[in-house]
Each structure stands twice: as structure tokens, then as C-alpha cells.
Chains A and B, each alone.
Chain A
Amino acid sequence: MPRLVSHPDEVKIVTRRFGMGAADIERYIELGGYASAKRCLQQGADWIINEMKASNLRGRGGAGFPAGMKWSFVPKQSAKPKYVLVNGDESEPGTCKDHLIFLHDPHAVIEGTIIAGLAIGAKVGFIYLRGEYRYLLEIMEKAVADAYARGFLGKNIFGSDTEFQVITQTGAGAYEVGEESALMESLEGKRGVPRIKPPFPAVVGLYGGPTVINNAETIATVPHVIEMGAAAYAAVGSERNGGTRLFGISGHVERPGVYELPMGYNLKKMIYEVAGGIRGGRKLKAVVPGGSSTPVLLPEEIDIGMDFDQVGKAGSMLGSGGVVVIDDQTCIVEFALRTISFYQHESCGWCIPCREGTDWIKKSLTRFHAGFGEAKDIDNIQYLAENMMGRTFCPLGDAAAMPTLGFVKKFRKEFEDHLNGKPCPFAKHVDLAVV
């Protein structure tokens, strides 16, 4: 069972009910649950969207698109049914926050889905969990059944004339399905290959109907925003970055875990104070700030506030909030190899630059790390990654190219050392890259 952690700097909003048995519907209600949904039912769609806009809540999946604005794009009138789709395909390496939400607060996801449905005028919401999260799916399924039993879901939610259904869905192993249009394809029983955009999901989405797709954390945050008020929520975070974020700190820290901190919280402080610093008193070598696809930061680059804008300014991305901390005993070449191996494994194969690019970078890095590198390889790897950037069908190509470019550019010397026969601290892993 994932261990819960705590730190005084935390502002517990989304994690407020964690560890309090809120998966049980009675307990959830006791803890104030479903009050926000009821309130939204009374206030109506425009009010909800205005609140969401005012909250400055930005998408927690990684792109950071303002949630209220996303909802406002859905046309009011639509011939086809509208849908809410909750993206719980959490698969970005370094990210495990949704895991905890599903485990400790499944009703918050349901309540957020209802509110999103009310906001856009949808009658059906889908909650999609990655296939590996079977036990969490079972928790979610029970929560949904309980909500139906209480009349919170169904033809007349909370005794009103409003209908809202929630359908749970499992994936079966595919990172790419985290991309919103690939998620819709998967939910429609197809290969998880993204769709051509435009049209965007808000106009033509699931089953051809207007669809709002939000990350599970975003959705789970929604009831809290309603509860505490948009202004109060926005005030917690930094400029244009409302509220808190569930930062998952992993890797070489003393106290890894998922911490809920205000947006804009200082990264250096997060590593050295919240997570207890580098394990075993070692030195920091690098930080991947927002999941494996975000470009690496050097120790001298981490004195920044963790929000979408500030991390962007530092040349990386806030991403999924998965902070991966790397100490000085780590081989960056191997780390780069393990990263690209993942994207090579997960590339859907649809477009040429991603399908072939991830594979050739992986092949080159595998050989390079095994000690058979050539001088031209370093430039070649950089060339490959540069020619993937911005050229692929969906963001997965960028997600693979960005970290690769970061490693090669910021740790070029370490690559060159490999050529010069300097021992690699992780040499024993050489033959182990995922096939």
C-alpha cells in the first residue's frame, strides 16, 4: 500500500481526505462530500464555468491548459450527446498522484465529473483508468455503484430533473492513450492512435460528440474549488496558476512521496526540505521536474517556483508534477537510455519521426552506453532528437525528443567520457534495457 507522507508546508486541499476512509461514501459525505455537486446543480452551468475560470485551475495532466476555458469551448447546443472524460491513464514515468486520488478519494473524482457534466451539459461521464490500476478500478467501480445507490448518479441526480451517468473503463497497457484523442480512440475500442486535430474534442470528441477531457487530478480538484470558492483557491497558488499541485517526488531523496504544495513552491526547497534532501547525503546531479518527458534541470537551475510559467521560463516544463531527483552517482547516459527506451516502447508507431526516431535513438544509446560508441553518435543523437521536435503527429515525439536533447546538451561531457572509456557507474545494467 503506497505510503502517505506529510510536511508542514503542504496545503491539503485535494489530499484533505486522504487516509480518512473517504472511499466509503458515508465517510465522504461526512467529510463534506457531494455538497459541491449539489451546489452546482442549483447554480447552473454558467456559474460553474465562471468559477472555474476564476480559480485559475490549470490542467494537471501536463499541458496546463486552463480548465474553465476548456469547458467554455464546448458548444451549448449539440445534436450529438456531450461527454465528460476523465483521464486516469496516469503513465508518465515519475507520476503516481492519480494513484492516490483513486485510492483515497474516489468520490471526489465522481463529484468532479458530475460538476463538469453540469457545466457543459453532458449526461454521461467516463472515468478511464490505466489497465495496471485494476485494484483502483475496483475501488472506483464500488464508489460509482454507491453513488448510484444514493441517487447521486442516474436519471435524477440528487432528486433533481438532471440526469448524469458515470461509466468506468480500463485500459490495457498504453502510455499513448494518455493523449486525449488517443484516449477517446481507446475508449471507442480502437488502437490508441491520436486523431487529427482540428476538430478538437470540445467540438468533435467521443462518439463524435463534444467532449471535455480532464486529468483525474484536475477533476478531483473541482469539488474543492467549488467548496472553498474560486478566489480562495486561486489565492493559494502563484500568478495565473491557481491552487495546489500534487507533486510526486521520487528518485534519490530521503523522503519520496506525493506532497500537495501550492503552485509556485520553490523546487530547491521541495527537494531539500520537503523531501528531506538527497539520499545518503550525496550530491544532486540533476532534476527531471515534471515527469520523464520534461527536460532535465541542473542543480544550479532549480531555484525556481514550480508553476507552469516559471518552469517553462527555466527551459523545462511543469508537466505532470513528477519530480525525479538524480544524485551524482547516476550515469546520465543510462538515464537517457532508460528514458528513450520507454518512449520507443510506447510510441504508437503511427508517424515516421516518432516511430523511427525513438527506435534509432534507443539503438544508438544502447550501443553507446555499452561502450561501443563513436564520436559521431553524440551529434547524431542530437540530430535525431532535433528532427523529431515539432515534426511528429502528436506530442509523444516531443516528449521523447525534449529530454534527450536536454541530456545531450547539458551532459555532453559525460557522453564524451563514455567514449574515452571512463567507467560507467551503472555499467552492470547495460544489457537490461527493455526489449
Chain B
Amino acid sequence: MTLFSPRLAARLDALVEKYPLRRSALVPMLLYAQDEIGYISDAVVAEVAQRIGITELDVRNVATYYSMLRFKPAGKYNVQVCTNISCMLRGGYEIYERFKEELGIGHKGVTPDGLFSLEEVECIGVCCWAPAIQVNYDFHDELKPDLVPGIIDGYRGKAVAEAPHA
């Protein structure tokens, strides 16, 4: 029994064999599991513990250390706005403000339709093309506040396109 899709389960099966020690698969496994399930649920903790062969406490000890791992569901598109120094100097906070306005949510908020969540994050390594954000794993750089609605619309459209036909 697994929580995961056959594809992810197969990937995780291979992942533990990739390293000299199984445990090295822990951090990637948590991240890949979150990518599919949406967050690190108790069930994810239990399955990961069993796959690696460590205690659930041990999984939690590690999982809670890494800031990309979350323990509550986020939106389908998690908007992460960098406000660290390079972005801040070039208007990162204005971008963040605009997302707050457009989405009507604040830090770690989720829109009622579950489509978007918003997070103010630390440096994401795009300093020379600031200000920048990440939506899930996609980067958007050299932003201006006025570009924000377009980005949101783009993901809305993507969600519609990906939605199963009623």
C-alpha cells in the first residue's frame, strides 16, 4: 500500500537505492512526496519512515528543519515572493503587496478556491534579475507590480486547461 501514484512510488523505490545509505533519500523523498500530495501529512510521514526504515519521530525531526516542507496544504500554485535584500532594493515588497491585494491573502494564506497560496520567502538565488518570485518551482524575474495580474491570470488559465473536463 502506498499513498503515492505508481509513477512516484516507482521513483521513490529507485531513490532509496541511489545512495550509499538509504537514509540519504530522506530529504528528496519528502520533497517529491510533497510535490504530489501537497504537504507532509501524517500519512506521508508514516510512509516515508517505513520506506527509509527510520522512526516517524526521526522523519519529523528532519522534515521540520527544511523550510520548503510544509505540514498544511498550500494552494495549487504556491506563490513565493522573495523580499531579501537584492529583491527588496528593486521593489520586492511592492511585488509582494500587489500579490496580497490581487489574491486577497497574506503570508502563508490560501485562496478560498485553493488555487493560490502566498508566501514571503528568503533569497531564491535570482538576485541579479530582481525582483523575483517562484510559483511552485517556476521562476519569474525582473518583475514589476503591474506584471502581477498577468502572472496570476496565466496560472488561472493553466488550472482551467489542466482541470478534468466536467
Please list the residues of chain A having a beta carbon within 8 angstroms of any beta carbon in chain B: 1-3, 81, 90-96, 98-99, 124, 130-135, 167, 169-175, 186-192, 207, 248-252, 256-258, 288, 292, 322, 324-327, 330, 335, 338-339, 342, 345-346, 348, 428-429, 432, 434-435
Contact = CB atoms under 8 A, between A and B. Distances in A.
Nearest to B137: A134
A207 B134 CA distance: 33
Given A2-B126, A91-B125, A324-B86, A188 B23 contact: yes
B123 A92 contact: yes
Contacts of B62: 189-191
Given A250-B128, A342-B123, A93 B85 contact: yes
B84 A292 contact: yes
Given A342-B123, A432-B93, A292 B65 contact: no
Nearest to A100: B128
Given A186-B27, A345-B122, A335 B128 contact: no
Given A132-B68, A173-B66, A339-B85, A81 B125 contact: no
Nearest to B23: A189
**Interface size class, chain B:** 35 or more
Contacts of A174: 65-67
Given A93-B84, A324-B86, A172 B66 contact: yes
Nearest to B134: A132
B116 to A, nearest CB: 18
Contacts of B25: 189
Interface string B121-137: 11111111110001001
Contacts of B83: 338, 432, 434
Contacts of B128: 2, 96, 248-250, 256-258
A429 B96 CA distance: 11
A3 B130 CA distance: 11
A181 B19 CA distance: 18
A169 B130 CA distance: 26
Given A169-B24, A256-B90, 12 more contacts: A2-B129, A93-B127, A132-B134, A134-B137, A174-B66, A186-B27, A188-B24, A251-B86, A292-B84, A338-B88, A428-B93, A434-B120
Nearest to A176: B65
